[in-house]
Structure 1
Amino acid sequence: MLGIVTAGIAPGLALMSYFYLKDQYGSEPFAIVFKTFIFGALLVFPIMFIQYVFKVENVLQGLFYEPFISMGLLEEFFKWFILFYTIYQHVSFDEPYDGIVYGASVSLGFATVENIFYLFANGLEYAFGRALLPVSSHALFGVIMGYYLGKSKFSPDSNKKWLVLSLLIPFILHGSYNYILITLEDWLTMMIPFMIFLWYLGLKKVKKARLMSDKHFNQQIIYEKPFISGK
């Protein structure tokens, strides 16, 4: 049991540490990041219940509806909802890169609990594959969501456009991931290039968010200089 719990937690913890430590302008308060992680973990239960009802009642099932709507959209919407209503206006969200940290946190909370449940049901031998695919993909969906939330909060214009994209793009990517996994017989031949693309896109957003944070803090320094110098 301890081995399964450890294997279930380890990939999420490793990925969370990676994105957390890349914050070059002071790490986010651990308590807020941990709270976001817990919110993501708790989301597993209502989402699993809704998905179970959909399956029993044969609602939103099929080659398109199940991977994109009852799985991709449902999961990404709840994660987006948590970020928007608990973190987006929070005082700790004070630079664009913070969106990456909080997006990864809520997604990895969800992925970690889901991973533990899966390993309990199916066995420890799936731990490596789960770390490479579902856990890392959830982290990257969260990174991309957080990038656009940060862009929305700190851009001088088009805030609504970036806010829409913060849900739309993770939903499309998550739905595509599910579609490959569920509907394609030879799914691995498509999943490998998809995951390479997803990592490329996620890390590109991380780099862009860090550059946006650089610009944000440099502007703050320029604005504060006259007051510091007494002019």
Structure 2
Amino acid sequence: MSRRRDPVERADQESTDLYDVSTWEPRSAVDRLSYGVYRGINYGLRGIVLLVALGITLLLLVQPGYLVLEQPLLGIFFGLSIVPAAVLAAFIWYTDITSSEPLGLLVATFVLAVLFATFAAIVNSLTGPWFERFGAVGLVFFFFLIVGPVEEAVKLLAVRVFAYRSDSFDAVIVGAVYGAVAGLGFAAIENAIYIASTVAEAEIGFFAAATGITTVRALVGPGHVLYSAIAGYYLGLAKFNPQYAGPLVVKGLLIAAVLHATYNSTVQVVPDVAAALYPITPELAFVGYVIVFDLAVGYYLYRKIARYRRTYDAVRGDTRRSSQPELTEFDPPSR
């Protein structure tokens, strides 16, 4: 969308210096000072947010850090817990038909998601007890009003800070790639905290506790990747449709948050019902439900990516065909 212009600028034929009349650029010492102060505040606030997030993250990781020193094998379980999510994120990255994203931006997005996840952890821990007083209904509201929106928002924020501003963010589908990476970072820190706390509090053996919780977290991780990839796709649409940027971001967050909250609200109920109705164990019912739910969400995302890829190929093909000169009666026909 082109920049809006003042009537003076629209009427002028670029023959008049309109500085401080209807256009502006840093020229004078005051201009440059104002520009510098603005940039300082802008980057300073982002720096403060990052430092706060880093501090909270380090505090949350103190316990897992000590456990890893005492039980070095726990680090292996941390890594294993994000393998399925990492494979899914890599697949979404592979589906980007436009270009390869810079490794530095992918790593930065992952790290930012790890840091910003702590904000969600604080909000969840502060508001959760209030909703829990209302029983199962309160938990459902907690998932839909707090957990889903907040967690998906912080993951999208991890994309918005750096990757979104980069020139490498040059296609709608790129939003899904960075969203998936942000979901992977969120899943990584969440898995580490869950595994460490479960092992620390378990009364059974180390390997039994670590294996059980790692399996559960490995199943949960891909969901984070899918939800934030969907929100990221709409963030990509927002970048290239600035007149509707706000509604598009809200739409992506709404879809991701509702899917996230629906999973959280049903995962403790549906497997138990299935186990009661069919001759299967609760554990198998849980695994089956998580896989089916993720497949359904994944199919929704896959259809969007596949449609983008088909359209990209079709448009590129039309462009290549239209760029070829038409034959005249003097040119031999191609065979």
TM-score (norm 2): 0.58
Greater length-normalized contact order (CA 8 Å, ≥ 6 residues apart):
1
Q: What is the CA–CA distance in structure 2 between the aligned matches of 1:211 and 1:150, rounded to whole Å?
A: 17
> Residue by residue, what CA displacement relative to the aligned partner does 1:147-189 show, whole Å, maximum 9, x if unpaired?
2122222358644432221111101111111111245553747
Alignment partner of 2:102 out of 23, 26, 29: 29
Hey, what does 1:174 align to over in structure 2? 260
Hey, what does 1:74 align to over in structure 2? 150
Q: In the TM superposition, what is the alpha-carbon distance from 1:93 to its structure 2 partner? A: 0.4
Residues 162-201 of structure 1: pairs in structure 2 closer than 5 A? 162-182=248-268, 185-186=272-273, 188=286, 191=290, 193-201=292-300
Q: What is the CA–CA distance in structure 2 between the aligned matches of 1:156 and 1:220, rounded to whole Å?
A: 25
Q: In the TM superposition, what is the alpha-carbon distance from 1:219 to its structure 2 partner? A: 8.5
Q: In the TM superposition, what is the alpha-carbon distance from 1:69 to its structure 2 partner? A: 1.8
Q: Is the contact made by 1:8 and 1:115 (CA closer than 8 Å) also made in structure 2?
A: yes
Q: In the TM superposition, what is the alpha-carbon distance from 1:94 to its structure 2 partner? A: 0.4
Q: What is the CA–CA distance in structure 2 between the aligned matches of 1:156 and 1:51, rounded to whole Å?
A: 32
SS across alignment from 1:88: helix
Hey, what does 2:305 align to over in structure 1? 206
Structure-2 change in CA distance of 1:212 and 1:88 (3 Å): farther
SS across alignment from 2:97: coil
Hey, what does 1:229 align to over in structure 2? none
Alignment partner of 1:2 out of 75, 85, 104: 75
Amino acid at match of 1:23: D
> Residue by residue, what CA displacement relative to the aligned partner does 1:169-217 show, whole Å, maximum 9, x if unpaired?
1011111111112455537476554333112112212213334544676
Hey, what does 1:130 align to over in structure 2? 217
Q: In the TM superposition, what is the alpha-carbon distance from 1:137 to its structure 2 partner? A: 0.7
Hey, what does 2:57 align to over in structure 1? none
Q: Give ranges in structure 1 of 5+ residues lacking alignment.
A: 227-231
Identity %: 27
Q: What is the CA–CA distance in structure 1 between the aligned matches of 2:320 and 2:195, rounded to whole Å?
A: 49
Q: What is the CA–CA distance in structure 2 between the aligned matches of 1:95 and 1:219, rounded to whole Å?
A: 18
For the pair 1:152 / 2:228, whether they are aligned, the reply is no
- Please say which structure displays the higher CA radius of gyration: 2
Q: What is the CA–CA distance in structure 1 between the aligned matches of 2:318 and 2:115, rounded to whole Å?
A: 38
Q: In the TM superposition, what is the alpha-carbon distance from 1:222 to its structure 2 partner? A: 9.2
Q: Is the contact made by 1:60 and 1:69 (CA closer than 8 Å) also made in structure 2?
A: no
> Residue by residue, what CA displacement relative to the aligned partner does 1:16-58 show, whole Å, maximum 9, x if unpaired?
22222222332100000110011111122222122111134x1
Q: RMSD between aligned alpha carbons?
A: 3.0
Q: What is the CA–CA distance in structure 2 between the aligned matches of 1:73 and 1:124, rounded to whole Å?
A: 30
Q: Is the contact made by 2:184 and 2:225 (CA closer than 8 Å) also made in structure 1?
A: yes
Q: What is the CA–CA distance in structure 2 between the aligned matches of 1:98 and 1:212, rounded to whole Å?
A: 15
Q: Give ranges in structure 2 of 5+ residues lacking alignment.
A: 1-73, 199-209, 275-285, 325-335
For the pair 1:114 / 2:190, whether they are aligned, the reply is yes
Number of residue pairs aligned between Structure 1 and Structure 2:
223
Alignment partner of 1:84 out of 160, 163, 166: 160
Q: What is the CA–CA distance in structure 2 between the aligned matches of 1:220 and 1:28, rounded to whole Å?
A: 24
Q: In the TM superposition, what is the alpha-carbon distance from 1:8 to its structure 2 partner? A: 2.7
Structure-2 change in CA distance of 1:30 and 1:105 (3 Å): same
Structure-2 change in CA distance of 1:119 and 1:110 (3 Å): same
Amino acid at match of 1:174: H
Structure-2 change in CA distance of 1:10 and 1:76 (3 Å): same
Q: In the TM superposition, what is the alpha-carbon distance from 1:221 to its structure 2 partner? A: 7.2
